[in-house]
Structure 1
Amino acid sequence: LLVPADSGVAFQHTFGASEYEGCHMNMLGVLKNGSALAVSWDGVCVWAHLESTRLQQGPARQRVTATLALRPPARAIRLTPLGRGDWNTLAAGYRRLAQQKGLVITLAEKIRRNPHAERLLGASNVKLWTCLARRMNEESTKEESVTVRWTFDEAAQIAEHLRKDLGIDRCLFIMGGWTEGGYDCRHPDNLPANPECGGNPKLAEAIGRIQTLGYVACLHDNYQDMYRDARSWNPEVIEKRPDGSLIQGGRWLGGRAYMVCAPKQLELAMRPQNLPEIHRLFKPWAYFIDCTFAVGPRECADPKHPLARDDDVAWKIRLSDAARDLFGLFGSECGREWAVPHSDFFEGLVGVSGRYYHNLKPETLGAVVIPFWEMVYHDCQICFGKYGYAAEQAGEYVAHHVLCARPLHYHSIPDHLYWKELVGKTKPRKPAAGPQAAFARTDQGWAEGLHPTDAFLKTTHEVLGPLHAATAQKRLVRLEFLSPDKSLRRAQYGEGDEAVAVVVNFGQSDATAQSQYGGRVVLPPLGFVIDAPRLAAFYAKHWNGQDYPGGALFTLQPADQKPLAQAGRVRVFHGFGQPQIAWGGIAHQVRREAVIGREVSIR
């Protein structure tokens, strides 16, 4: 968040270290009179309180202050003057501090550790949340409903459909609700895989089929929540208040959850019947343990396993390392900088449910959302958003992912073999209208006539997958606002000949930008243009001399090993809009996709 001191918005807000939507990095920055100051700390016992006050007298009309509250063992904060500069200076300065702390472990290093990590570069996140959705009452004593949304065989067929029918080349394919009780039920007793969806043999077969496609298969698990109907239910492992009472969690599908103390989470996870047996039976290349990086630091007053906030983080690191050592790749919900050296992917850091945040509303702080995480850690971690959202309302969400150079998460996959069930039953659909619906368009494009889920997934993956692959091992080195209202933004990933430039229009009207390949480009609201050594992409009204009155989306990539500017053959993907594109001084008609150059191949 970039919180200006001239927004006119009065507020008070506290960001706790490592709390949910708190400080996900142990820092805040101060920019004033052209100078930059990094404020940082160690541990998670620090709270940053921001306050904005409107002033009635004097030359200033607003004052923004930050107060830091420390609790033992925290004893100090670190002030690092960075000289003249802006948010770019601040990010580069904090990156150096993070390196000194050992937090900067790059994706290049992670790929050397486990080659399967390379398959996550440019990979979209497809998640079947609840293969089995069993809803229990509050006390976990009575079933209220049982729904099979996907069998394990259907899950594998979905992955095969994405690869073979849609041409989705890379995917992190996550399955939830595979456990004995179903999603968020009877934890921590996961095995056997529930018979309703096919049991152990069918789950093992599905994971094998998914990984044969080159996708990374991943199972969703949880060791924070325990339910009273679990075979292993034991009040001794639950967090306690000082009076000895059990600490409850949320009301989920399995009923009322109880919070397992962090050292006990590791103990339960590493029982022979848990992670070791799951790995032996199914062998997914990745594993996801929910909540580990999302829930703020916990405390426990049980004298048998007392826990302070910093201890909680230390135990969560041990759990992450144990799962990662066993399966190879590991991820969890949301994400924190302390988890970067101990994991490979975060789910929830980029956005939530089609919004920037889950609960936080930037406008209440007069703030502008900027990709500051990408300016520090883009080359260190695979990051996604989380939860479902409506494609017809996701225009700004997609544009945000373009600026962040992050692939999307597709967490609203319809039940069963959804694309088959509409055959012969489709009704005429009105074209998506308005900026927020832009990326659900299919008119004259590759996905015209396809299921809406497939159309949105294909169009956005064709932009965001190659963009992430081009930037994954680069840091966002320069963020610029190209308009006075900060709505036209440019992000540069990397330096020199390999730099990637992204311009996105977050404004309410058309904007003009310059492009390496497209020259003068006119961007509609939520439009973008991308220039990379081996990728050009745009959603624009004018590009390379060609007008697109209603806006059109194209991507171009070399079909040989040369840079795009020297490529003899170029693959062109057309998402929607007018199907004519100019390249190499020639106008080409590309309705779906084509390889243009000396030999033209059209699909």
Structure 2
Amino acid sequence: MENIYTKGTEIRFDESRLSFTITHEGDSWNWGEGFRPRMECEEGTIYFADAKKISHEEWKTGIGHGILSHFEGFELNGADAGIAFDTIVWIEEVSGDVFFEWVPLSTETVKVKSVYWPGYMEFDEKKDSWYTLLNWQQGLLVPNTWKTAVDKVVFDGFMGTAGAYMPWFGQVKDRAGYIAICEQPWNAAYYTEHPAEGPYTHVGIRWEPSLGKMDYRRVMKYSFVKDCDYNDLCKIYRNYVIEKGRFKSLAEKAVKTPSIDQLIGSAFLHKGIKTQVMTNSDFYDAENPDKNNHLTPFSVRTEEIKKFHELGVEKLYLHLDGWAEPGYDNQHPDYLPACEKAGGWKAMKELSDTMHECGYLFGIHDQYRDYYYAAKTFDENFATRLADGTIPSHARWAGGPQTYLCATQAPFYVKRNFTEIMDNGIKLDCAYLDVFTCNEGDECSHPWHKMTRRECYEYRNACFEYLLSKGILPSSEEVNDWAIPSLVFCHYAPYDFMLDRPGSPKKGIPVPLFNLVYHDCLIEPWMMDKVSEEEDYMLYAVLNGGAPYLVRDGAYQNTDGSFAGGVEITIEDQIKRCKVVSDLHEKVAKCEMVRHEMVDGNPEVQRTTFADGTVVTVDFQAQTYQIR
């Protein structure tokens, strides 16, 4: 078949290997020699090349030019697999972008677990100037020479999770690069392989079924750039989401909900009331039973708020854990009333009123995914059912055995619970709905409330929108591309290494890929721990123009970045540190982060530039920062 050429981009197709080479303005990108297009099924592996009937033809429409391939007649374990599909690889005439489309025609006979196509790019030069971009939490840049191996990604690389805040990856080699955007990210994941010290990094896409079926088209869009760095690729994606109508800035959100402006520039205070670890929880410490439970009265928290006010903290947001019976991470979604042994509704209202008298903002931790068997209204009929009809379960958290609540039910429980809170005179400014933005979307096969992952994200956003309708600013554990229109802030949006034990080797160079796209859309609080004399997380807070954590008392020790130890800082000094970060956040929260760079190519000295002209430079080695 002849090569396809449009808009400075050429497609070359190797029919014998079913492999593609894309050449853009003289730079060639080849699929890796070791890649074989395949489908992983429960019954075994099916390779595209094993189809009895394969055909290729030129594909041309009013918008582009490419190659259409048809595959059918597969056998698996000696029987007809009943699989047929098309692939279309084409160049859009307007943009020169290359689209890779996998189109299922029939996959009913076998149970497909995943499809690996298109292939990963050959990327095998041992050079610092060759690097891969992963949206693993805030962002990761992996040079081909990086000493630490990178392979297993958190949440298995699933799009829409902490493993992929945004549904794209990219690679740059000596200033030539590409960004690969996943256009149907709800049932997609990326995989990556980088051995210790290189000399290569491979990254590709894996498509998974929805409710057990591969029944809709999957598309990867590749934009190739002759001269670029990671900033340019982030701005390509920013323009992409603007074109799609998914971009919503803080300035836009603040028009609808003006209290956003009060949260901007606030220091974040994370405290708890009641912890009760059940004996059938994985967290239960049988050897030290006294460590499992603790209680702090609301009145103690009220006095702490007064003390912070006396110490001169001007703007503060309190995130309160464990405020309801029977304690943190217990019996959700039946998480009411206010903890009686801590003072009940009356004492909780006093805390809320004190917050507002001080000019502060008050919010609570809540949870509408974890569905505890001990919940008063638990009904297995409303638990998430997998495609095979089974119900997943575990006992990891404090409340013991649980499954997952089908997200179709979550908005109803949010409305029920928050109505009761308001009826008891508690004025909430904010609310944190746990795990929604870091865990993958759920699917449910129960006929009463069947739900796809895509619909799950819509139901989660519906919970955020309900809160907004009541003037309550919604938050969740981390951030994610799908939540941008409805989410206002988060618990954190960290670099991946911040959740590892301090001193663990970094998997690459931390770079703010997410903030280069969405800095002006969300409020992100940052850890302020000085974990050692060589590592101060305040520098990342300043660099990213985020909000500071004044105190962050994690619910579980040695989990989610909450580790004991580090350099002790007095509360007076921490207030001063937070004031620096808060003042900067007040200035740049609604500004685009227009550029991030490693000064003179040195990852130890990094600089960010914001749309208002503010420039922040940090030196991680010298432990210094400069704001101008």
Both proteins in one fold, TM over 0.5: yes
1:163 aligned residue? 309
2:67 aligned residue? none
- The 3-state SS of whatever aligns with 2:255 is helix
| Aligned counterpart in structure 2 of residue 334 of structure 1, from 478, 503, 506 | 478
Q: Matched residue pairs, number?
A: 465
1:407-422, aligned counterparts within 5 Å?
A: 407-413=547-553
1:135 aligned residue? 277
2:613 aligned residue? 499
| Aligned counterpart in structure 2 of residue 52 of structure 1, from 194, 201, 205 | 194
1:405 aligned residue? 545
1:465 aligned residue? 582
Residue 253 (1) aligns with residue 398 (2): yes
Deviation of 1:483 after TM superposition, in Å, equals 3.8
- CA deviations over 1:408-453 (Å, ceiling 9, x no partner): 22454599xxxxxxxxxxxxxxxxxxxx74xx56xxxxxxxxxx3x
C-alpha distance in structure 1 between counterparts of 2:468 and 2:394, whole Å: 26
Deviation of 1:241 after TM superposition, in Å, equals 3.7
Q: Is the 8 A contact 1:8 1:62 kept in 2?
A: no
Deviation of 1:499 after TM superposition, in Å, equals 1.0
Residue 529 (1) aligns with residue 626 (2): yes
C-alpha distance in structure 2 between counterparts of 1:232 and 1:464, whole Å: 44
- The 3-state SS of whatever aligns with 1:77 is strand
AA matched with 2:393: Q
1:79-158, aligned counterparts within 5 Å?
A: 79-128=222-271, 130-138=272-280, 147-158=293-304
- CA deviations over 1:158-186 (Å, ceiling 9, x no partner): 22211222x11112211111112111112
Using the TM superposition, name which of 131-140 and 279-288 deviates more: 131-140
C-alpha distance in structure 2 between counterparts of 1:351 and 1:49, whole Å: 19
C-alpha distance in structure 1 between counterparts of 2:627 and 2:317, whole Å: 24
Residue 62 (1) aligns with residue 62 (2): no
| Distance change >3 Å, CA 349–CA 300, structure 1 → 2 | same
1:566-577, aligned counterparts within 5 Å?
A: none
C-alpha distance in structure 2 between counterparts of 1:462 and 1:36, whole Å: 40
1:259-274, aligned counterparts within 5 Å?
A: 259-271=404-416, 274=417
Unaligned runs of 5+ in 1: 56-60, 416-435, 442-451, 508-524, 532-603
| Distance change >3 Å, CA 338–CA 358, structure 1 → 2 | farther
2:179 aligned residue? 38
C-alpha distance in structure 1 between counterparts of 2:145 and 2:441, whole Å: 34
C-alpha distance in structure 2 between counterparts of 1:394 and 1:176, whole Å: 31
1:313-392, aligned counterparts within 5 Å?
A: 313-350=457-494, 355-358=497-500, 363=505, 365=507, 367-385=508-526
C-alpha distance in structure 1 between counterparts of 2:151 and 2:613, whole Å: 39
C-alpha distance in structure 2 between counterparts of 1:235 and 1:359, whole Å: 37
Residue 478 (1) aligns with residue 595 (2): yes
C-alpha distance in structure 2 between counterparts of 1:30 and 1:243, whole Å: 38
Identity of aligned residues (%): 22
Question: What TM-score, normalized by structure 1, do the two folds share?
Answer: 0.71
AA matched with 1:44: W
Q: Is the 8 A contact 2:257 2:471 kept in 1?
A: no
1:492-571, aligned counterparts within 5 Å?
A: 492-494=609-611, 498-507=612-621, 525-531=622-628
2:98 aligned residue? none
Q: Is the 8 A contact 2:281 2:398 kept in 1?
A: no
| Distance change >3 Å, CA 79–CA 62, structure 1 → 2 | same
Q: Is the 8 A contact 1:351 1:384 kept in 2?
A: no
Residue 214 (1) aligns with residue 331 (2): no
Q: Is the 8 A contact 2:596 2:608 kept in 1?
A: yes
Deviation of 1:287 after TM superposition, in Å, equals 1.2
CA RMSD of aligned residues (A): 3.0
AA matched with 2:596: L
C-alpha distance in structure 2 between counterparts of 1:88 and 1:341, whole Å: 23
- CA deviations over 1:432-484 (Å, ceiling 9, x no partner): xxxx74xx56xxxxxxxxxx3x1343132121111111211112212121244
AA matched with 2:620: F
AA matched with 2:418: L
1:188 aligned residue? 333
Deviation of 1:269 after TM superposition, in Å, equals 2.3
- CA deviations over 1:200-256 (Å, ceiling 9, x no partner): 122122112102222111011111122233211211111224554432144222222
C-alpha distance in structure 2 between counterparts of 1:232 and 1:263, whole Å: 16
- CA deviations over 1:513-563 (Å, ceiling 9, x no partner): xxxxxxxxxxxx2211111xxxxxxxxxxxxxxxxxxxxxxxxxxxxxxxx
Q: Is the 8 A contact 2:334 2:375 kept in 1?
A: yes
C-alpha distance in structure 1 between counterparts of 2:488 and 2:319, whole Å: 14
- The 3-state SS of whatever aligns with 2:470 is helix
| Distance change >3 Å, CA 110–CA 358, structure 1 → 2 | farther
| Distance change >3 Å, CA 88–CA 243, structure 1 → 2 | closer
| Aligned counterpart in structure 2 of residue 301 of structure 1, from 423, 445, 462 | 445
- The 3-state SS of whatever aligns with 2:517 is helix
| Distance change >3 Å, CA 188–CA 505, structure 1 → 2 | same
